[in-house]
Structure 1
Amino acid sequence: MSDSPILPEDETVPRDEVVRLAAQFIEDAQTRADVLALLAFAELLRDVPARVSEPLLGDIRYTWWVEALEEIRDGRKVRYHPLSAALSGVAERHALDMQVLIDAIEPHRLQLDGRLSLRDALSVADKGQAAVLAQAARVLAPTADAACLLIPARFHTLATMKVAGRLNANEAGAEEGRHLYREARQSVKRVPSALLPLVLPTAVAADLWQGRVRSALSVRLKLLWVFVTGRI
């Protein structure tokens, strides 16, 4: 695991400490920075509702990012934000499919309507978050099949949204959590070692779902164990 510092106030990295810790298993510094920029973008999309005072402002933010990514896609001058600048560099270095990232924004707008049904939350997770994660996989291992990331990404996204109070409590109970976790455990076994840093946060998502809090040391040890064994 790399010991290079990551500043949580940097808008080109995720605020989620577990995601940042997972990325430390990526040895190459530039590759790690590129992956973190994509993960920060995924986090930004997921957390827009928590950063605005009313849905219209959230809709404006999503539209701003659609237009920024279209500028990157089309090779035009890109409107400035630390993250848009970082994503422009990532796209250039790794030939990202910008249309996939653009399309990933739309399902996140569902969050602006209030607490989500499980069906809508799955749309956010599968069509939004997992789509961005698949582009991060292209950075880490261009020839790897990113389809194996879908179910682990789904569980981590739903657990995070549950903690934030964005899921309908009647549809996100303990039984559903156990079912999603079993699926995630099986799927992680099929994730190539090169892509494991992208699914390591799933290892502690069960704690999120159940409202448990691990110590910082326990989180680090859990991530290390999953990275070494490929199992959660």
Structure 2
Amino acid sequence: MSSGEEAARYCFDLVREVDKDRFLAALFADDEKRPSLLALYAFDIELRRIRDLVSEPMLGEIRLQWWADALDRSFNGATGDHPVLEALAPALSSGAIGRTGPANLIEARRFDLYDDPMPSQNDLEGYLGDTSSALMQMAALTLIGKDADSCAEVSGLAGVAFGLTSLLRAMPLLRSRGQCFLPQDLLASHGMTVAHVLSGRWDGPMQAAVSDLVSLARRRLDEARSHVRKVPEAALPAFLPAALVPEYLRQLTRGSRNPLKITSDIGPVRRQWQLWRSARRKTF
């Protein structure tokens, strides 16, 4: 097996293991483009998991800086620093993905290294725009090149919907780290502080705050879907993960479960069926 094949296999296995939603959505992409798409998702995973691999934020900062420097070298033609960068090289060298998107993604992930609370809902949407939305737009660029410029608005909206849903599902993990992504202004409007979230108490005010964010995710998804005609069919796999948002949100608000302590999920068969149905209908 050549080094290029080994790099592609590394990305394939990593995304399949860590990010089932994007992995399954990528299976609907063109065979020729899929390796670069999976390499992009693997790049995001490598950044996201730095928090869990280091014992203190400064070590995370060093790792993020390494990725930033290695990315610069990749844009200048180097490919040997990491299997993810080697697999991503075709998309970088072709100009399909510019420097700005990956660099901004690295910068946004610095927030993940610390326990600072999310200040406001505007800050939360900005964070999601630089992470989930940016990744969605880069995925579209990987699939269809500059024609994906028409998808920017959809990426912004659908990325917020999917990213916010993912954060809500990740609340048990975030709490265990001492992190709170529920915005402080939203908590204050319901008479709460970050301490209420970290306590895991599932009472009326907390339910109302989470309900507000669930409504925001649904609203952003509806707004994105209203522009689905702007998405070329070949770019649709980049947006398919958003098709899972409604079912995840239903699970999140189901019955008396406490989403601060219990992670909401979808069974593998239903997940695959939902993605297949959306792909067949050319929507998300």
Match of 1:174 among 208, 211, 235: 211
Match of 1:74 in 2: 76
Structure 1 pair 129/175, CA: closer, same or farther in 2 (3 Å)? closer
Question: If the length of structure 2 is used for normalisation, what is the TM-score?
Answer: 0.69
Give 3-state SS (helix, strand or coil) of 1:96's partner.
coil
Does 1:212 find its partner at 2:264?
yes
Match of 1:152 in 2: 158
- The CA distance in 2 between the partners of 1:40 and 1:14, in whole Å, is 10
Give 3-state SS (helix, strand or coil) of 1:173's partner.
helix
Deviation at 1:80, TM superposition (A): 1.6
Matched residues, number: 225
Structure 1 pair 32/189, CA: closer, same or farther in 2 (3 Å)? farther
Structure 1 pair 202/195, CA: closer, same or farther in 2 (3 Å)? same
* Amino acid in structure 2 at the alignment position of 1:202: A
Unpaired stretches in structure 2, ≥5 consecutive residues = 1-8, 175-179, 187-208, 253-262
Deviation at 1:99, TM superposition (A): 3.3
Structure 1 pair 231/99, CA: closer, same or farther in 2 (3 Å)? closer
Contact kept, 8 Å, 2:162 with 2:245, in 1: the verdict is yes
* Identity between Structure 1 and Structure 2 (%): 25
- The CA distance in 2 between the partners of 1:58 and 1:122, in whole Å, is 23
- The CA distance in 1 between the partners of 2:47 and 2:132, in whole Å, is 8
Does 1:186 find its partner at 2:192?
no
* Amino acid in structure 2 at the alignment position of 1:149: S
Larger CA deviation: 153-162 vs 15-24: 153-162
Q: How does 1:37-186 map to 2 (within 5 A)?
A: 37-75=39-77, 77-78=78-79, 80-114=81-115, 116-117=117-118, 118-142=121-145, 143-144=147-148, 145-147=150-152, 148-165=154-171, 166=174, 167-169=180-182, 171=186, 173-186=210-223
For residues 52-103 of structure 1, give each alpha carbon's deviation from its aligned partner in whole angstroms, at most 9, with x where no partner exists.
332122211111111011112233x345211011122321245421233113
Structure 1 pair 11/82, CA: closer, same or farther in 2 (3 Å)? farther
Structure 1 pair 134/110, CA: closer, same or farther in 2 (3 Å)? same
Give 3-state SS (helix, strand or coil) of 1:212's partner.
coil
Question: If the length of structure 1 is used for normalisation, what is the TM-score?
Answer: 0.83
Deviation at 1:169, TM superposition (A): 4.1
- The CA distance in 2 between the partners of 1:47 and 1:93, in whole Å, is 28
Deviation at 1:197, TM superposition (A): 1.0
Deviation at 1:206, TM superposition (A): 4.0
Structure 1 pair 158/184, CA: closer, same or farther in 2 (3 Å)? same
Unpaired stretches in structure 1, ≥5 consecutive residues = 1-5
**Superposed CA RMSD:** 2.6
Larger CA deviation: 168-177 vs 180-189: 168-177
- The CA distance in 2 between the partners of 1:140 and 1:8, in whole Å, is 17
- The CA distance in 2 between the partners of 1:55 and 1:163, in whole Å, is 24
Match of 2:37 among 35, 38, 46: 35
